[in-house]
Amino acid sequence: MKSQTVIMDELKDLKDRIRDLLHQRKAILLAHNYQRPEVQDIADLCGDSLELSIKASQTDAEVIVFCGVHFMAETASILCPDKKILLPVLDAGCPMADMITAEELRRKREEIPGLIVISYVNTTAEVKAETDICCTSANVIQVVHSVDPSLPIFMTPDKNLAQYAKKHTGRDIMYWEGFCPIHNNLTVTQVRKVRSAHPDALFLAHPECPPGVLELADEVKSTSGMIALPGGSENREFIIGTETGILHPLSKAYPDKLFIPADPGMICGDMKKIGLREILAALKNLQPEVRVPGEIRERAKGAVDRMLAIRDV
Ligand code: 13P
Ligand code: SF4
């Protein structure tokens, strides 16, 4: 068995080789807040879907190594067609994004003409191409408010995010019945149990959680919103209602505060597929690459650009 020192030396060597190759390839490494700790620690930027999209649209790097899931790498390709977008493990997907196809969305539009379609960024590029405007968990309310109140809204694919938006905007929103298998599994019973064990803790929930869980939340936030919140709070304990990868940046940012997972079983297997070895291999081979083809990209870009244009509204 390898000693702890040998393991640490190997880890350092891997990290050094990655940083060297990032420099040589004029590449940046973006990581979602759910990624493994060692991946987040080596990233140029960690963030939620909105922050990562904005960074991808602004960087002058030639290569983006995207440590997240497939739709996130596609969004980077939509925004930066001239850059090489690497997703170190190509089958890191998002089960929620796969719950609606472009064909199903086209049929919905035929069924109800005149719909304004808002798609969560957790969708494929093909679905974005059939979409009027995208949103993320961080800007969903502003995006809904940006739509003319006389027009009917249809949201895809997350029924929970749609119901949250409906409640907080007062708009009559129709929606697709998709969901995130990880967040949708968090129950009211489980939250009540953790709350009674930590009565002083604030409960922060992600809007992908079911409506009953969101009703119990003190704050509903995107992943980066959750990371920012304890900085401005007197509270010392927080129950975290999202994927457990976020506990790493939270504990790092606030070592004197306590973060309790609402359910330690909230683990997104897809978000854990990428490790340092996969990143190194991707940088060496400049593969696997995610590239959204021209015509789909053009149409999808319209929906993403419209979202980015209202981010300060
Ligand atoms: P955020 O945009 O809040 O990081 O969420 C992305 C996601 O996939 C949540 O499950
Ligand atoms: Fe998709 Fe849920 Fe995983 Fe986020 S946590 S990537 S929504 S399956």
Q: Do domains 4-95+271-292 and 98-179+295-308 have the same CATH topology?
A: yes
Query: Span 98-179+295-308: which CATH code?
Result: 3.40.50.10800
User: Strand (E) positions, the chain?
Assistant: 27-32, 45-47, 63-67, 84-86, 116-120, 133-135, 153-156, 173-175, 202-205, 219-220, 237-241, 258-261
| Nearest CA residue ID for atom 3, ligand 1 | 222
- What value does the mean pLDDT take over residues 250-272? 98
92 lines ligand 2 (CB under 6 A): no
Question: Quick one: which atom of ligand 1 is closest to the CA of 122?
Answer: 8
Residue 29 φ/ψ, nearest 5 degrees? -115, 120
What is the architecture of the domain spanning 186-265?
A: 3-Layer(aba) Sandwich (3.40)
131 lines ligand 1 (CB under 6 A): no
Query: Span 4-95+271-292: which CATH code?
Result: 3.40.50.10800
268 lines ligand 2 (CB under 6 A): yes
Query: Mutual orientation of helices 70-79 and 294-309 as an angle, nearest 10°?
Result: 90
Ligand at shortest distance from the CA of 121:
1
Using the predicted structure, report yes or no on whether residue 137 has a pLDDT greater than 50.
yes
Distance, CA of 121 to CA of 52 (rounded, Å): 11
Give me the residue spans of the domains in the chain.
4-95+271-292, 98-179+295-308, 186-265
Using the predicted structure, report yes or no on whether residue 1 has a pLDDT greater than 80.
no
Of the pLDDT bands very low, low, confident and very high (cuts 50, 70, 90), residue 311 is low
Distance from the alpha carbon of residue 179 to the mean position of ligand 2, in angstroms: 9
Give pLDDT, residue 264.
98
Distance, CA of 90 to CA of 8 (rounded, Å): 28
Taking alpha carbons only, the member of 17, 105, 85 closest to residue 303 is: 105
What pTM was computed for the model? 0.96
